[in-house]
Structure 1
Amino acid sequence: MRRRVLVDTGPLVAYLSERDNYHAWTRGQLEHIGFPLLTCEAVLTETCFLIGRNGGDAADPIEMLNRGWLSIPFDLSLESEAISHLMRKYANVPISLADSGCIPKK
């Protein structure tokens, strides 16, 4: 059975940005793991922003979604109670919406 891998902003930015110090390593790891990778909309938002801010194509993360390399099995409207609970529980960390969307349900 193929593993399902959940990915946050950092690995996506490294994968898409050739200037990132971890680009080659991340590219090798993600291609070895295989696609699609699981994520949430908030992670895509952060990734688009960071890629664009650093001179890349901010649409690249969306293109990964279009190609089936990313999957978003998360619906904030269905998970809002759990997300607000996590954000309050880990407010001292702090935790972002993207972080809380990447915490698997038990």
Structure 2
Amino acid sequence: MRRGVIVDTGPLVAYLSQRDKYHAWTCDRLEHIGFPLLTCEAVLTETCFLIGRNGGDAGNPIEMLNRGWLSILFDLSLESEAISRLMRKYANVFPYRLRTVACYG
């Protein structure tokens, strides 16, 4: 079982949405990877929005955090200058979103 795997919005939405076409596959993968999964606040926010928009419980991603299934090791307030530099540096190459830079920067 691997530890410290970074997870983005897509797998979290698939895991929490039984109607998602990748739900079963994602559940199987996460069973092998194990918890906690590493993420950032931006991913968590986007996941809550997408789950809620699709009729699910928008609080489920937060519940995963409360149960220790997700771990946020990134603090935007401590890294805001570095994130700002990366977003400006790569603005013409790739349209960085905050979640991309925060999780993978």
Which TM-score band (shorter chain)? over 0.9
Distance across 1 between alignment mates of 2:48 and 2:84? 24
- Runs of 4+ in structure 1 deviating by more than 3 angstroms, as ranges, are none
Distance across 1 between alignment mates of 2:45 and 2:56? 14
Alignment of 1:10-25 (within 5 A): 10-25=10-25
The answer to whether the 8 A contact 2:3-2:35 is kept is no
**TM-score between the two structures when normalised by the length of structure 2:** 0.93
CA-to-aligned-CA distance 1:37-56 (integer Å, 9 cap, x gap): 00001100000000000000
Q: Unmatched 5+ residue regions in structure 1?
A: none
Alignment of 1:1-106 (within 5 A): 2-92=2-92, 93-103=94-104
Distance across 1 between alignment mates of 2:96 and 2:8? 13
AA in 1 matched with 2:11: P
CA-to-aligned-CA distance 1:60-99 (integer Å, 9 cap, x gap): 0000000000000110011111211221122232111111
Distance across 1 between alignment mates of 2:70 and 2:3? 14
Q: Cα offset for 1:103?
A: 1.0
Distance across 1 between alignment mates of 2:89 and 2:30? 31
**TM-score between the two structures when normalised by the length of structure 1:** 0.92
Distance across 2 between alignment mates of 1:21 and 1:86? 34
Q: Cα offset for 1:2?
A: 4.4
State the percentage of identical aligned residues: 81
